Amino acid sequence: NAGVMQNPRHLVRRRGQEARLRCSPMKGHSHVYWYRQLPEEGLKFMVYLQKENIIDESGMPKERFSAEFPKEGPSILRIQQVVRGDSAAYFCASSPTDEQFFGPGTRLTVL
Amino acid sequence: QQQVKQSPQSLIVQKGGISIINCAYENTAFDYFPWYQQFPGKGPALLIAIRPDVSEKKEGRFTISFNKSAKQFSLHIMDSQPGDSATYFCAASFMAGTASKLTFGTGTRLQVTL
C-alpha cells in the first residue's frame, strides 16, 4: 500500500506566478488535509477536504489560496500570485478516521 | 483555546538515556493526542497516539504519559539512540475516532549523542 504521495517535491516560482501542489491520499482514505510548515516552526492547519467537499478551511488565507479534492484525481492546493512569504513546506495528510498519515511534502521557494 | 504548548525547544541526550518531551493544552475538548517524528527534509511520521481514557501507552521504547486533570501529556523515549535524533511534534484534535484537523506544538529538536 503506497503512502501519501505529493508532487512536485520541490517547486520554485517567481513572485506573481501560480503554484499548484498535488496530493494523492493513501488507498482507502477519504479525508485529506493540507498543512504549512515555515522554517523552524511547527505545522499549521490550512484545510480539510473530502471528495468534492471542503469540510474545514479555517486555516486558509482568505486570498490567493484555494484547495480542491475532485471526484477523480489528486487533491490540489493552488496559490495564486505567490509572494516571498509563501515560501514554506506544504504537507498533505490523509486519514481513514483520526490517524493522519503525512506525505513527504512540497517545498515551495518563491524568488 | 486552540494552543498546544511544547517544551523544551531542543534537547540533547546521551545514548542510552531517557528523552522526555512535554506538552500542555488548553482546550478540554481535545480528545486525541498523537506524537510525530520528523527527519530533515521528510514528512512527519506518526509515532504513537493516546486517547484520554488511559493514562499511559507504551509502544517499544516510546511511552506517552497523559494527565487529564493537568491537561498535560509527555513523550518518553527510553534507551535513546542516535537514530532517534529528529524533531518531535505533539498534536491534539477533537472527536477521537473521526476525522478532524490537528493542532501541533512547536516541536522539539532532539539530538542523541554517542
User: 3-state SS string over chain B?
Assistant: CCCEEEECCEEEEECCCCEEEEEEECCCCEEEEEEEEECCCCCCEEEEEECCCCCEEEECCEEEEEECCCCEEEEEECCCCHHHCEEEEEEEEECCCCCCCCEECCCEEEEEEC
Amino acid at site B29: A
The predicted structure's pLDDT at residue B2: 63
Flag whether pLDDT at B22 surpasses 60. Answer: yes
The predicted structure's pLDDT at residue A98: 74
% of chain B beyond a pLDDT of 70: 95
pLDDT band at A97 (very low <50, low <70, confident <90, very high): confident
pLDDT tens per residue across span B45-100: 999 999 988 999 999 999 999 999 999 999 999 999 999 999 999 999 986 566 78
Amino acid at site A37: Q
Flag whether pLDDT at A99 surpasses 90. Answer: no
Chain B residue closest in CA terms to A30: B99
Q: Bridge partners of A64?
A: none
Q: What number is the average pLDDT over the span A28-54?
A: 91
Shortest distance, CA B14 to any CA of chain A (angstroms): 23
**B36 touching A (Cβ < 8 Å):** yes
Residues of B in contact with A101 (CB under 8 A): 46
% of chain A beyond a pLDDT of 90: 82
> Would you call B89 and A59 a contact, using CB atoms and an 8 Å cutoff?
no
> Would you call A42 and B32 a contact, using CB atoms and an 8 Å cutoff?
no
**B107 touching A (Cβ < 8 Å):** yes
Mean pLDDT of chain B: 93
* Number of CB atoms found within 10 A of residue A72's CB: 6
Flag whether pLDDT at A1 surpasses 80. Answer: no
Flag whether pLDDT at A40 surpasses 80. Answer: no
Q: Bridge partners of A10?
A: A107
pLDDT band at A42 (very low <50, low <70, confident <90, very high): confident
Shortest distance, CA A52 to any CA of chain B (angstroms): 16
**A63 touching B (Cβ < 8 Å):** no
